[in-house]
Copies of this chain bind each other. A is one copy, B any other.
């Protein structure tokens, strides 16, 4: 799953250029996703900080807790490696970092940090580096917003696995129906599809790494499916249920999501109506993801389909969001984000219709924006007639 040194060289060159433009002496990455993106270090996130110091000139250096030293070397990360003993520590990470930056020379007066830095860490860093000014900067977020060809290749691989996870979930329900046994619970289904995805990763890749997870998913059926972010419950599926499989997978921590709505047995008129609206909104929204348009504009057109069908009261969320090293990241396909869509962006398209007490309807694809238009990376069939489980 490792990205090549050539990928990192490209990213580093782009970051140096952006630092120059913003008049920053370097960037101090503190978010696990930024560290993964810039240096290819993937680690179990705890209270022990990892600091990646990326100076405008010279080699980046990654300060890791001692317990991750050999693990970072094993991953052949694209930075020098330094360690501190422990957290909170008699000689805390921030003091070690300050000495490290000092020893390496080079200016460090204006240091870029992400807005995700915590007040607590900011205070410790300011005390350890009293002459530095920490400037919140979207310099790395700006790079991450469009994807490198090597990243896109990983997104494609993840999309294939995610579609297979959907198929595995459907098969579990279908097999239970055909055998006449009890249907699986939401929890059973979630375990099955996540297990499928995890197994696939281990089978296909020598070296498995991730920031948060290899494969994950929410599974809800019947009335529970009206809660867009509810956790899978012990409720068993029943004939007549609307079922949402809302699944994600990441190869080299490059995420995708694929979500499909199924109906168990012959759909009612009510189910057909809601499904048709959700599917049409998703189609309109997906086709709208073209270079030059704004996220807010596409989102409005997409959700207008639901409003015009009279189901505006059943909207619970925006059309979608960017996907990359994190499963949710900028830009946001939402009214409040005027970002102009560009080739190389990878975006989810997932409007939903949620009817309290009845159920929810959501189809999500992961979409690559190309010069030629939107390309759906996830390809599992979307139409109702293909997703009736009987």
Q: Which residues of A contact B (CB under 8 A)?
A: 42-44, 46-47, 65-71, 74, 86-90, 92, 113-123, 136, 185, 187-188, 191, 195, 198-199, 202-203, 205-210, 218, 226-234, 316-318, 321, 328-329, 332, 334-337, 354, 356
Contacts and interface: CB of A to CB of B under 8 A. Distances in A.
B187 A208 contact: yes
Binding site of A, secondary structure by majority: helix, strand, loop or mixed?
Answer: loop
Q: Which of A68, A114, A188 has the most CB of B within 10 A?
A: A68
B218 A234 contact: no
Copies in the complex: 2
A332 B87 contact: yes
Nearest to A331: B88
Given A89-B334, A191-B198, A195-B191, A231 B42 contact: yes
A318 B208 CA distance: 27
A140 to B, nearest CB: 14
A66 B316 contact: yes
Contacts of A74: 227, 230
Contacts of A195: 191, 195
A52 to B, nearest CB: 17
Contacts of A208: 187, 231-234
Given A44-B229, A71-B227, 10 more contacts: A47-B321, A47-B328, A70-B226, A70-B356, A74-B227, A88-B332, A89-B335, A116-B120, A118-B118, A187-B198
Contacts of A202: 185, 187-188, 234
Q: What are the 6 closest A-B residue pairs judged by CB atoms, nearest first? A: A115-B120, A187-B202, A67-B316, A88-B336, A44-B229, A71-B227
Nearest to A228: B67
B89 A336 contact: yes
B115 A46 contact: no
20 contacts: A47-B329, A66-B316, A67-B316, A86-B318, A87-B318, A88-B332, A90-B336, A115-B119, A115-B121, A115-B123, A116-B118, A116-B120, A117-B119, A119-B122, A123-B136, A185-B202, A187-B198, A195-B195, A202-B234, A210-B231
Nearest to A234: B202
A122 B123 CA distance: 13
Nearest to A47: B328
